[in-house]
Homo-oligomer: A and B are copies of this chain.
C-alpha cells in the first residue's frame, strides 16, 4: 500500500460513525441498493443491514453490496432478527413510513445511536418493522407523487443525520474501534 492510500483510508476511517446505520427491508432493485450503500459511505456509515426474503436476492444483493468494500453488510432473513440485533446494540429504531402518524424526519435527534429502516420499494415497511420501531418518520411531500425513491428517501434522512452530527462535532475525533481499523487497512491493502 502506498503512503497516500494509507493516509486516504485512515482519513476515511477517522470519520466513520459506527452508531449510525441503515437497515433495508425486503428486496430492492440493485441500482437502489447500490445508491443506498454509496450515500451511506459518503456520510460515514460503517455498517448496512439487509433483510432478504429469498436466497436468490441474498446472492444478488450480497454481490451488489460487496462491490462497496468499505462498508460491512449484515444479512438477515427476518425483520425481527435484524431489529433485535439493532436494539441489542442500543440503537433507536426509526422506520421511514408514509403515514399520517409519522413525525417529520427533521424532528429526530440523530446524534443518538440510530438505525434507519427502509421499506421495500413496492410495499413499504412491514407491520413487524412498524410494531418494533421506536418511531416512524416521514419526509414531507407537497406534490402529486405518493412516495420518493427509496435511495432518495434514505439519502435525505442520512444527510440530516450528517448535518446534526457535524454540528455536534461527531466527525472531529475517530470513533471506530482499533480492531476494525486494522481489518480495513489489511483488506484495503489486499484488494
Interface residues of A (CB under 8 A from B): 8-9, 12, 15, 29, 31, 34-35, 38-44, 68, 70, 106, 139-145, 148-149, 151-152, 155-156, 159, 162-163, 166, 171
Contact = CB atoms under 8 A, between A and B. Distances in A.
Nearest to A106: B163
Chain copies in the assembly?
Answer: 2
Nearest to A163: B106
Q: Give chain A's interface secondary structure class.
A: helix
Nearest to A159: B156
Contact of A139 (B29, B70, B159): B159
Contact of A149 (B9, B12, B39, B68): B39
Contact of A145 (B42, B141, B163): B42
A41 B106 contact: no
Contacts of A151: 35, 149, 151-152
Given A106-B163, A163-B106, A155 B148 contact: yes
Nearest to A44: B142
A144 B35 contact: no
Contacts of A38: 145, 148-149, 152
A106 B15 CA distance: 20
A39 B152 contact: yes
A39 B148 contact: yes
